[in-house]
Amino acid sequence: MIRFKELGFNEFDDYVKQFFDTLLTSNKTYEYFVDWDKVRNSVNKYLDELSLLNSLTKFSGNERKEYMKVLLRKYPQTVEVIPMLIAERVKNGEISIFDTDIEDFITFDFRPSNLNEQKIQEIIEFCTKTGVMGLFDEVKDIYDYLFGVEVGIDTNARKNRSGEIFERMCQQKVRKLLGNECTPVDNDPSFSLYPIVTKGKSKGKTHDIVIYKNGRPTLIVECNFYNVTGSKPISIAESYIEMHRAAKEHDVDFLWVTDGPAWHKMKEPLLRSMREIEWLLNFKMLNLIRRILR
């Protein structure tokens, strides 16, 4: 059970009330919205190809189609960029499209090494039917256009980024709170209980934080943030009970830092964890970490 008295609470219910009263409604930090480095890197690795495609803005109609053929013959690597212009991530260099006229699929190949006259003609058809060819009438700088496309695609990664952001929030706060008292190591590859808990299935998985004191691991920390309810937070809550037991067997403390509005609707599984795990805090309560390390 939560060692609430050592955390400064008179009763278990006082601890529980404090926990739920201080849950964060969101973890949208400034870095949540766009991973600019990722966007910039995605576009910059195609600078040459984008410069070549920019020349298509100087042509129109059939002239543009003929010039695109010339480009693809001389610079076949430009074909890789075309799917990006319609925000499509290509798997195995191909896109299959269902053509309603023939009621069958047509596969378009965007691998430079496979380009020949027939495939170039197919790429021209693809660009015409998907509207890519007309894009060069509307856009004067393909680099700027693709940068905007990549920003839009990156917003789909916000869900995954949310968990990473909360992990970094906790890592930064722990370092700030502990100062030189202990040594926190983020995602420490040299110490992990996951191989034990998962019976060898997660050999490479690390803990979000491992805190060392006097040269030995004394506290492992896992951090999770949940905006929405579901089976995952419930299964995580159950798995961390096992993690807590494994930690005790290896003379290490275990701290679960979890937060987010979803827990207001999933109190029961969290309360079960609180009755089994000795240390469980939310982000604001993380200030109490020194009490755990005494």
pLDDT per residue over 230-278, tens digit each?
Answer: 898 999 999 999 999 999 999 999 999 999 999 999 999 999 999 999 9
Confidence of residue 108 (pLDDT cuts 50, 70, 90): very high
Domain check: are 81 and 115 in the same one?
yes
Residue 22 φ then ψ, to 5°: -110, 15
Which value, to the nearest 10 degrees, does the dihedral of the CA atoms of residues 164, 168, 174, 179 take? 160
- Domain end position, chosen among 91, 121, 156: 156
What would the mean pLDDT of 100-113 be, rounded to a whole number? 94
pTM reported for the whole predicted model: 0.78
Q: Can you say how many angstroms the Cα of residue 244 is from the centroid of all Cα atoms in its chain?
A: 26
pLDDT of amino acid 37: 94
What would the mean pLDDT of 115-134 be, rounded to a whole number? 96
Domain check: are 86 and 191 in the same one?
no
Domain check: are 222 and 273 in the same one?
yes
Asked whether residue 4 is assigned to any structural domain, the reply reads no
pLDDT of amino acid 44: 96
pLDDT of amino acid 91: 84
Distance between CA 157 and CA 240 in Å, rounded? 26
Count the domains in the chain. Answer: 2
Asked whether residue 139 is assigned to any structural domain, the reply reads yes
Least confident of 5-14, 48-57, 152-161: 152-161
